A = this chain, B = another copy of it.
Amino acid sequence: MISKNDIVALIDKKGKKNLIRVEDIKKIKGIGVYNTSSLIGKGYGEIIEIMGKEYTILQPSIIDKIDTIERKAQIITPKDSAVIAFYCDVKSGDKIVEGGTGSGALTIVLAHLVQPDGKVFSYEKRRDFAEIAQKNIQKAGLERYVEIKSGDVTSKIDERNVDAVIFDIPNPWASIKNAYDALKPGGHFASYSPTTNQVENTVKELREHPFVGIKTLETLQREMIVGKGGVRPDFDMLGHTGYITFGRKILNSSFKY
């Protein structure tokens, strides 16, 4: 049953998604003026009609939350978020530091996964990015799990004993020492970078500190289309997004693998 203040996804017949908070009458972009309180008591999976157009009501999944964010900077895509979350073992209750909030796409993923007792501390130097990220996080109903901090992780990370430190910044190698200090023993480090030069510098710097399991992955994803003529891969595909470098903090630098 949908209650007041729930965040729900309204999805039209073409798959276009809208996240809305169940409150009162509001103007929803692409839908129109709607009294969102009329959703109270309805169930997920039902169909409603607004101004003559049908929508399914769904509980917003992690994918729905990413699909509906407003983008300013290039976002980290689901294929990469999935790998980051998995390899950093992100789970309910985790305390995570993010360097480079951007539009907040990865922040939303992390916040979604650490609910209800965890927290994401996300550093962003640029005020315009911080603002759009905050807006996106609120729309996803995740503001309680995120603290956006104005600052640069290459200068300072305030937190200690965190479960993971995750960077999407131009010069991740300059903040490896700070990441190490912030992490708990066994904590996970990840860094997302578009170029192989960034990968090289980051890996070399990680090797200078007590990190193990240092590894860089590139993930490619292709949709398969099932049509009348048969099955084929999609003609469209992202050729590249970024490389992701991982490592795990230990206490003794004699280990390298």
Give the oligomeric copy count: 4
Stretch at the interface among A22-30, A130-138, A190-198: A190-198
Indicate whether A224 sits within 8 Å of B239 (C-beta atoms), given known contacts A11-B257, A185-B46.
no
Indicate whether A56 sits within 8 Å of B194 (C-beta atoms), given known contacts A46-B185, A235-B240, A237-B237.
no
Contact B217 A44 (CB under 8 A): no
> Which chain A residues in 192-247 approach chain B with CB under 8 Å?
194-200, 203-204, 212-213, 215-227, 229-241, 243
**A43 vs B161: C-alpha distance in the bound complex, in angstroms?**
13
> Which chain A residues in 147-195 approach chain B with CB under 8 Å?
170, 184-186, 188, 194-195
Asked whether any CB of chain B lies closer than 8 Å to the CB of A59, the reply is yes
- Shortest A200–chain B CB gap in Å is 5
> Which residue of the partner chain, among B224, B234, B251, B256, contacts A13 with CB atoms under 8 Å?
B256
Q: Which residue of B lies closest to A62 (CB)?
A: B89
Contacting residues, chain B, for A237 (C-beta < 8 A):
237-240
Asked whether any CB of chain B lies closer than 8 Å to the CB of A58, the reply is yes
Stretch at the interface among A80-88, A99-107, A121-129: A80-88
Contacting residues, chain B, for A115 (C-beta < 8 A):
91-92
- Shortest A171–chain B CB gap in Å is 11
> Which residue of the partner chain, among B45, B81, B89, B218, contacts A63 with CB atoms under 8 Å?
B89
Contact A229 B195 (CB under 8 A): yes
Contact B220 A200 (CB under 8 A): no
The winner among A43, A222, A252, A254 for most chain B CB atoms within 10 A is A222
5 A-B pairs with the lowest CB-CB distances in the bound complex, closest first? A45-B185, A237-B239, A197-B230, A195-B230, A15-B257
